[in-house]
Chains A and B, each alone.
Chain A
Amino acid sequence: MKPRIPGQAAQARHGWWKASQWLALRRAAQVVFLGLFLTGPLIGVWITKGTLASSLTLSILPLTDPLFALQSLLAHHSLEGKVLLGAGLVLAVYALIGGRMFCSWVCPVNLVTDGAAWMRARLNLPEGVTFSRSSRMWILGAVLAVSALTGTVAWEFVNPVTILHRGLVFGALYGAGLAWVLVAALFLFDLAVSSRGWCGHLCPVGAFYGLIGRKSLLRVSAIGRQTCDDCLDCYKACPEPQVISPALKGATRGLGPLILSGDCTNCGRCIDVCPERVFEFSPRWMDRKSKDVSSQTTRDGTTQAAA
């Protein structure tokens, strides 16, 4: 049997753009964010210097990975003001827009793990080893503890995010170095060992950004949930499908249509693939409770009765 690929039904009904717009925008964003760092080394036009760990844009805007800063401070090192300011800015922005937007819109590893998921769906591979979704929290805890105990920034000794980003900016990935092996290993892990294994279950960077964004103002809302016909495309497309149920199926339990979990990466893929156009981005304060969903107007203008 041919696997049902999420997005195909939406594309058949609403056309390519409607079924791919957030994915396309996200890929564009990932390319732009990489490009900011790469124009300098490649063509000598410096926009952003440094890497995701710490950078300087247009010689004025300093940004720093707050997880690095936290580890360093826990390890009893004092950092200069510039780097603390940079970490504060990053914290503030992601706290507003959703921490894991870093994952789906910026982090280069997402391209690798999304690639593995894409291939997985087409090869119809079994789930493989499943880790608990809370594993990443434990790993994050362990990383912070090891930082404090060893007096160094522990995660930077293995962090695939910065290995990949450095490899792209400083060129290790253009030769035949070990950096390639690590990226390939990550891809194969997600493809053959565990579905969405790395970004969905293990990566402590994702866990950290998830924590930052728990109260973010930008959310995805299953605003049209009463039209859901249970095709499950959103669950299949979502890198964190556990976040969907409370919003999509929570009406009977009195839950609002807003996806509230910090695990949601605000990738917007559910919006794309839903043939019924159930989802959309929404500010947090628009969390209408189930009672007022009962007489909502759907996109095609008809008024639906509550299910």
Chain B
Amino acid sequence: MVEPSSPLETSRRDFLAATARTACAAGFFGTALGLWIGQARALPATALRPPGALAEDDFLGTCARCGLCVQDCPYKTLKLAEPGSGPTLGTPYFEARKIPCEMCSDIPCVAACPTGALDKSLKDISKSKMGVAVLVGHETCLNFLGLRCDICHRDCPLMGTAITLERSHNLRTGKHAMFIPTVHTEACTGCGKCEKSCPLEEAAIKVLPPKLALGVLGSHYRLGWEEKKKKGSALIEGTIDLPDRGYSPGEPVPPAPERNSQGGFKEFRP
């Protein structure tokens, strides 16, 4: 090692060494911060973003964590994530089972947002996509058990479009109908009212962030029947249509079973 020739050179070397040390420390800090960000970006399944929120990554890069949306929500639905509470620190969210969104027609939360993290192009609250309701408790939902609870259906602000009761046969009794609460994802806003009002100890219907609730078809998937409709004729011409066994096209369809005066089936014997 060469001895430094002058005190000036020593201090220059010290300076360079100190700078290199600080630069390394900063690099270490940056890496740690980056790793932490990777961890802390996860959104728990119970946390829903306010109406109009951008897609999660854009939202996290745009939201100032200012809380203006929270303060302008008249129902105290929204809150800011505190350290340790789950969603990314400082960002606004709500939990359906605690306080759902009341779908204000003037959408004050979106109006208050200064950054654009809540998109002002959302003018009609029924077009919002905060989440999607999913009936997860097929073994506990009272309607699945054959009762008439219907509460989620009746509490839905978009009753009849976002959620309907679909009739099906009760195999347990063999003679009753079941009214299955059925969510239509294109209409459901994810307001959370249904989850809030489900009377079970743990809600059978849950509102999840859209990404968790929805399946997505592979982009190369084509639905044959849709394609056929678009084309207006069979997709592959000249295929042979073999006759279906036990049924030939000209034959009459067997008549529907007859009903008695109480609405039951005549030939049914309990």
Contacts and interface: CB of A to CB of B under 8 A. Distances in A.
Interface of A: 40-41, 49-51, 53-56, 62, 64-65, 68, 72, 75-80, 82-83, 86, 132, 134-135, 138-139, 141-143, 145-146, 149-154, 156-158, 162-163, 166-167, 169-170, 172, 177-179, 181-182
Contacts of A56: 68, 112, 114
B159 to A, nearest CB: 34
Contacts, number: 145
Given A151-B57, A156-B89, A166-B90, A49 B37 contact: no
A296 B7 CA distance: 39
Given A62-B114, A157-B33, A166-B90, 6 more contacts: A72-B61, A77-B61, A132-B18, A138-B26, A146-B37, A150-B37
B140 interface: no
Contacts of B60: 152-153
Contacts of A75: 61
Interface of B: 18-19, 22-23, 25-27, 29-30, 33-34, 36-38, 40-41, 57-58, 60-62, 64-68, 70-72, 79-80, 82-84, 88-90, 112, 114-116, 120
Given A54-B115, A134-B22, A157-B33, A178 B83 contact: yes
A104 to B, nearest CB: 23
Contact of A154 (B37, B68, B72, B79): B37
B90 A54 contact: no
Contact of B64 (A68, A138, A139, A172): A68
A151 B57 CA distance: 8
Q: Is the interface of B mostly helix, strand, loop or mixed?
A: helix
Nearest to A54: B66
B92 to A, nearest CB: 10
B67 A51 contact: yes
Contacts of A68: 64
B68 A54 contact: yes
A217 to B, nearest CB: 28
Given A83-B114, A177-B84, A142 B29 contact: yes
Contact of A162 (B37, B70, B79, B90): B90
Nearest to A202: B29
Given A51-B67, A54-B68, A177-B83, A79 B116 contact: yes
A182 B89 CA distance: 13
Nearest to B71: A49
Contacts of B65: 51, 53, 156, 162, 166
B37 A139 contact: no
B84 A50 contact: no
B249 to A, nearest CB: 59
A72 B114 CA distance: 13
